[in-house]
Copies of this chain bind each other. A is one copy, B any other.
Amino acid sequence: MDDRTYTADAEPGDTVTVAGWVHEIRDLGGIAFIIIRDTTGKIQVKFEKDEMDDDLVETGLNAHRESVVAVTGDVEDEERAPTGVEIVPDSLDVIAEADPELPLDPSGKVDAELPTRLDNRTLDLRKPEVKAIFEIRAAALEAVRDAFRDLGCTEINTPKIVATGTEGGTELFPITYFGQEAFMNQSPQLFKQLMVGSGLERVFEIGPIFRAEEHNTPRHLNEATSIDFESAFYDHREAMDACETIVKAAYEGVAENCQDQLEALDMTEEFEVPDGDFPRLTYEEALEKINATGELDEVLVWGDDLSTEAEHVLGDEVGEHYFITDWPSEIKPFYIKDHDDDAEVSTGFDMMHPSMELVSGGQREHRYDKLVDGFEQQGLDPEAFEYYTKMFKYGMPPHAGWGLGGERLIMTMLGLGNIREAVLFPRDRQRLSP
C-alpha cells in the first residue's frame, strides 16, 4: 500500500503517486493548484480545467484543506512552482476527508495559543517548525545514547512503580498497587546506584520521571524525561567531564543530522555547538559574581540556594554552559558525598545553561554507615530504604553521576519559550489530556 513516492523524491519525467494532506487550494479560474504536503515536504498539483476530466477537477478542488488524498500523475518541470516541479494529475482519491472547520490551522497562517496547539497536537505537528522540534529531540537523544555507549555505559531500564521515593514523600504521585501504597518514581537515583555496584559498573537510562510539584512555570513539568548517568570509580570531576561530553554530543548530533529542521526553525545561523570546556565555578565564586553585579535585592551568603533570578544574573555574566561546584552540604541531598577534608562542602554540582539549571549531580556517599546516617538526618526512615542501603554492605565502590533534564536540554538548545513545546503531550497541574 505504501508504494507512494514522497513529494521530495518526485522527479520530472516520473509518473508517481503521492499521498498526503491538502495543504492549500488556489483556484485562479481557468487554472487551479493544490499543494499536497507529506512528511518530506510539499508539491504542487496543477489543474487545467478545460483540458481535464471534470470529475477529476471537481474532486480535487472540492477537497477540504487537511484532507488526506492520493494523486497519481506525471511530474513536470515548472519553475514557478514552489519546488520547481509540479504534478499533472491523472487521478485523485480523497482517502480521508477533513472537516472544513479546523480547530487549528496547520498552514501557520493563523496563530494559535499553546493550549490550543497542545489540545490539537496532531494538527500542530503538521507545521514544519513544530515537527522539527521533535525530529531534533529524537536526533539529540540518539546522539546522547551513542555518546554514552562510547563512554562504556550499558543502557538500563529501572522501575517507575516504586515503594519509596528518593527525596521523601511530598513530591510523589501515589498509586494504588494491588492494595499496597506505591508511588511513581521521581528519579532513577537509587536504582542506578545499585547498578554501579554490580558487574555493569557504568550505566545510563533515558526514561520518564514523575514529580508532584505544584510548580506552574514555563520550565517545569510533572512528567519529564530524565537522562541519567552513573559510574563506579568516578569522582565528581569525572562525572562533570562525562556530562560535558554528553551535552556536546547532543548538539553535535543535531548539527550533523538536522540542518533542514534547524532551517524550519529559522535557527541555521544561531545554532552553535558549545566549544571549549564549560567553566567550573565554585558555589562561593558564583555567589561573589552574583553579588558583584548588585542586581539582586539581597546579598547572597553561604548556605543560600540560588533563586531563578540569581541563576539568570549569573547566566548573563557567564554567557555559556557552566558548572557550579562545591555546594554547601546542607542544601544538597544526603546521598551526595561531602568533601573528605571539609564536611561543610559537598561534591555536588549543577550544570547550567545561561538561562536555567540542566543537570544535578555529584559523587555519591558509598559508605554504609554514613549513608544510613544521612537518611536519618533527612528525616527518612532508613528501614524503608533497606532494599537500597543493604547493598552498600557488600562492596559498593566509590561512584558519581548525574541527571539531565531531557526537555530542558531541548528547550535551551532551541531557545523555546516554554518547556511544554519540547514534549508531545505535556503533563502539568492542569493538563492531563491528551
Contact = CB atoms under 8 A, between A and B. Distances in A.
A1 interface: yes
Interface in A50-103: 66-68, 95-99, 102-103
B161 A231 contact: no
A432 interface: yes
A240 interface: no
A59 to B, nearest CB: 16
Contacts of A142: 145, 149, 155
Interface string A200-236: 1110000110101010000000110100000111110
B99 A198 contact: no
A387 B159 CA distance: 28
A123 interface: yes
A311 B125 CA distance: 41
A83 B156 CA distance: 29
Interface stretch (A114-122, A271-279, A315-323, A353-361): A114-122
A391 B433 CA distance: 13
Contacts of A158: 424-425
Copies in the complex: 2
Contacts of A232: 39
Given A208-B208, A387-B433, A388-B434, A424 B135 contact: no
Given A182-B432, A191-B434, A432-B162, A125 B199 contact: yes
Contact of A131 (B131, B199, B427): B199
A289 interface: no
Interface string A410-434: 0000000000000111110100111
B122 A387 contact: no
Given A96-B396, A163-B433, A238-B1, A126 B66 contact: no
A99 B2 contact: no
A212 B178 contact: yes
Interface string A134-148: 110010011001000
B234 A1 contact: yes
A224 B120 CA distance: 29
Interface of A: 1-2, 4, 19, 21-22, 37-39, 66-68, 95-99, 102-103, 119-128, 130-131, 134-135, 138, 141-142, 145, 149, 154-164, 173-178, 180, 182, 184, 190-191, 194-195, 197-202, 207-208, 210, 212, 214, 222-223, 225, 231-235, 237-238, 366-367, 387-388, 390-391, 393-398, 423-427, 429, 432-434
12 contacts: A1-B233, A39-B202, A123-B391, A125-B198, A126-B198, A130-B199, A158-B424, A158-B425, A159-B424, A190-B434, A191-B434, A195-B424
